[in-house]
Structure 1
């Protein structure tokens, strides 16, 4: 298609890994390019180009996309005539309409291929971009089980309607790829550049999600919440709830109504009003103004309707929830997926992946220890490694070695009260406490997270032994970092 297509595809793959690894490493993104020749018939062998050429999908599997797109046009039927003042406007609108049909056809084709092959993948396609005689589509695939594990908003979803934070991140990623291709088409060097900061992409995804959730699709809600969370009132952190709904919403019972609604951009006033919230009672906002206090009716009430709420949890921290489900957590202006208590089935799956010799009884035993670690409010780390004994010897100058003994929950609670990791074997035998983990620097780190998280990432990335780190951060985040996903 063009000279630098392989370089762009590799750049897009690394870009996707950097973004989605910050959300959930189990998403395992895979990016490829699809080129549909504009001037060739579908039976022409060169009518479809797949990059990379070694991809498991063949060009022939995408040969009928343009015919499928044309059939969608027939199904739509005659469209309303729209007259434009300039002929180029009409051509541009017609091209955009055709590109949307091609995108829809590509998406349907990918769904059929994945279903036929019984792959555990979710596919997303960008709107085509005309480049050197080809309609270029960027396709990103994510692990379906990991993607579907998160709560999604009900109703329609699409190119501008994200249903979850991972979906919003996909849309933001595809937007960046299309932008880079468009700029390369007009630049002298023709080399697409994907240089946007990963966290900035996630901030864009957070804004997309907030735009979807806000009543009337009001812009600025995300940044308003950032501004409110950054303020203190008389030295105290901001804590409270804000209900999002149109004015006089039937599912919101008013408690106190302001005579003059306060603009949401007035961060200091909103921060002060948060002091009035308590329990179920929160500020009521239409994403533009706050017009009082109220609370949502119970689910069994005839007026009930799932509502979006913003929960300010601490300084620079807040959460977006819908119908009781957490859609995203924002810490220091960085959106992340909700990380609550470790789930038993997910923990067991990861343990069996990293330590295939551990039986069900052993998994239950490690699960009990992980639960105890996850309950530490000050943060801690449990490192499970087949090389716990030699690693305790290697790190003897940066840990407290102990006489080997089976770890129990009460002992773990005491051992994890000091800084550093608790180092145990998959059998549960402990060899060291207060371990300062080392490891080589890696791009898989996250500058927005603390030293505990990043040291664990470095350690499991470079460890010669199969290992699993259970990282509990002081802000309540819980991460499972298995070495198997870093090799």
Structure 2
């Protein structure tokens, strides 16, 4: 049986280790609300001085997109970093720290040299590389490197770099994954059995959020900050009720003596965050116009951001917005940095992706004009912005349905529904029924429809009635469900249109792949099974069977992929029009 030879060999589990670290990073990003980010991992091995090894530098994967030429002169660069390292001028008062200093300097120098070597590659390929802390394995300093698309940092803007602080929740999450990756390198046979020891993605994200919440304290220069877990403290404050009401309001984290805020009311006795019930009580004083003023340790009074002051420019004042029960967010200026709902941190998300909403509306109602689409978006935004739940149903047969359901709602003379009208009529219980031109025919409607498999007791009656009503007829209908907990659902959500060429490209990539490099293609195809016809499914299954028959390396793992079958619901409407 033939076996694959690793030319740039560092240790036996290097392939498996790299794949698991890459998978972990993508799972963490998905937990943060960024699915399909496409984070990648590479390993760089720099020969340890004095070791006898055939290669000075190794890269895993050796046949991937990172050629060895990227790291030409790496060992020389490491020695230069060692000579100029700032720790060389630091003296410690204890013997163990002085003993460890040379090795700590060298490891940090390896990391810096690898990070620097990737700078040109990053700019040419629109990615950002994060080099983790090295560890000695198999005669090499092994540096795990995570690469993320640069577009992520345009979508979720980071703060300016701050010493000893993460500039974004993404940076903090990357640091957590790299920390775990380094810890694994310190074990015998790193990578062997790694999945069983891995922290869950949600655990990593919570730890990342807790670390990131130290950043505001460092940015505003809070004196005597004790490193308290502000993430958990704000979770606790937001979870508490005061005389039966949820906590809403704003809190400004700032230096009260600085120019960024105007203090309108100063508390004689500051309210510490470590006393959450007291903090929740004073939150009741905050409003949309006036916020609590705090310094990351204590609530100090009430005030506002100073006139003409731009928080994003100075980045020394942050807003904590308490939206309701167990729901808060951290902002700097207009940029939302972190959102927490029921203790689960995430990056800010659109309530529903705008492009998906418009695409679904147009495909369901081809008679709708551009003006109709704009009118619908206005109604959608109005429904989402309200502080209470509501439901809007768009139906091609709205006029007939208003007549049929007249005993379960209030018929009205047809009128074009505006944002202002929507706010008025949504104050009563029941559904608002409009046609594709956003002409309203009935309000306060109690919908009917038979039970459906999609219904679930974990969701409220409003959501389940929307499912039943929309699915009860073949006539195009669409429901926008805004629940009282501010969850937004659109029923149905049509699958996105994709290019036929994209499917063919990934199938061809799989057919030309081996066990070593088939992962990208099969992961894409697995997520797009719906779009494959019978002939394409047969080609994918044949390629997977060929790959399964290839010999496996010691320590390697292969997923047993479920057989591909065509979906009977696939139609030409799910593909982009060919140019």
Correspondent of 1:98 among 101, 106, 114: 106
Correspondent of 2:257 among 248, 252, 274: 248
Q: Does 1:195 align with 2:198?
A: yes
* CA-to-aligned-CA distance 1:258-279 (integer Å, 9 cap, x gap): 2221211100000000011112
Q: CA deviation at 1:433?
A: 4.3
Q: Does 1:332 align with 2:342?
A: yes
The answer as to whether partners of 1:68 and 1:105 remain within 8 angstroms in 2 is yes
Q: Secondary structure at the match of 1:68?
A: helix
Look up the match of 2:64. 55
Query: How far apart are the structure 1 equivalents of 2:134 and 2:334?
Result: 37
Aligned pairs for 1:39-54 (under 5 A) are: 39=49, 46-54=55-63
CA spacing shift, 1:412–1:138, aligned 2, 3 Å: farther
CA spacing shift, 1:465–1:125, aligned 2, 3 Å: same
CA spacing shift, 1:59–1:262, aligned 2, 3 Å: same
Greater displacement, 92-101 / 64-73? 64-73
* CA-to-aligned-CA distance 1:429-476 (integer Å, 9 cap, x gap): 9745469xxxxxxxxxxxxx989699979999466249xxxxxxxxxx
Q: Secondary structure at the match of 1:185?
A: coil
* CA-to-aligned-CA distance 1:358-385 (integer Å, 9 cap, x gap): xxx9999978766754554348899xxx
Q: Does 1:419 align with 2:428?
A: no
The answer as to whether partners of 1:342 and 1:371 remain within 8 angstroms in 2 is no
Query: How far apart are the structure 2 equivalents of 1:17 and 1:454?
Result: 28
Q: Does 1:209 align with 2:218?
A: no
The answer as to whether partners of 1:27 and 1:147 remain within 8 angstroms in 2 is no
CA spacing shift, 1:221–1:137, aligned 2, 3 Å: same
Look up the match of 1:15. 24
Query: How far apart are the structure 2 equivalents of 1:454 and 1:56?
Result: 42
Q: Secondary structure at the match of 1:244?
A: strand
Query: How far apart are the structure 2 equivalents of 1:249 and 1:343?
Result: 39
The answer as to whether partners of 1:341 and 1:374 remain within 8 angstroms in 2 is no
Look up the match of 1:309. 319
Correspondent of 2:116 among 94, 108, 116: 108
Look up the match of 2:308. 299
Q: Does 1:236 align with 2:245?
A: yes
Look up the match of 1:388. none
Aligned pairs for 1:66-465 (under 5 A) are: 66-75=75-84, 79-86=88-95, 88-115=96-123, 118-156=124-162, 160-182=164-186, 184-185=187-188, 191-193=193-195, 194-214=197-217, 215-216=221-222, 218-299=227-308, 305-306=314-315, 307-340=317-350, 347=355, 373=380, 375-377=382-384, 378=389, 407-408=436-437, 419-420=466-467, 431=476, 433=478, 461=527, 464-465=530-531
RMSD of equivalent CA atoms? 4.5
The answer as to whether partners of 1:243 and 1:308 remain within 8 angstroms in 2 is yes
TM-score by length of 1: 0.71
The answer as to whether partners of 2:210 and 2:231 remain within 8 angstroms in 1 is yes
CA spacing shift, 1:178–1:419, aligned 2, 3 Å: farther
CA spacing shift, 1:305–1:113, aligned 2, 3 Å: closer
CA spacing shift, 1:64–1:452, aligned 2, 3 Å: farther
Query: How far apart are the structure 1 equivalents of 2:494 and 2:28?
Result: 16
Query: How far apart are the structure 1 equivalents of 2:119 and 2:469?
Result: 45
The answer as to whether partners of 1:126 and 1:139 remain within 8 angstroms in 2 is yes
Return the index of the structure with the highest Cα Rg.
Answer: 2
Q: CA deviation at 1:313?
A: 0.6
Q: Secondary structure at the match of 1:27?
A: coil
The answer as to whether partners of 2:263 and 2:301 remain within 8 angstroms in 1 is yes
Query: How far apart are the structure 2 equivalents of 1:293 and 1:223?
Result: 23
CA spacing shift, 1:135–1:412, aligned 2, 3 Å: farther
* CA-to-aligned-CA distance 1:241-260 (integer Å, 9 cap, x gap): 11112342332222222222
Q: Which runs of 4+ in 1 moved over 3 A?
A: 39-42, 72-79, 189-194, 215-218, 340-344, 361-376, 378-382, 406-418, 420-424, 429-435, 449-463
* CA-to-aligned-CA distance 1:396-424 (integer Å, 9 cap, x gap): xxxxxxxxxx9555589999995249999
Q: Secondary structure at the match of 1:225?
A: helix
The answer as to whether partners of 2:467 and 2:491 remain within 8 angstroms in 1 is no
CA spacing shift, 1:149–1:430, aligned 2, 3 Å: farther
Equivalent pairs counted in the alignment come to 413
CA spacing shift, 1:364–1:329, aligned 2, 3 Å: farther
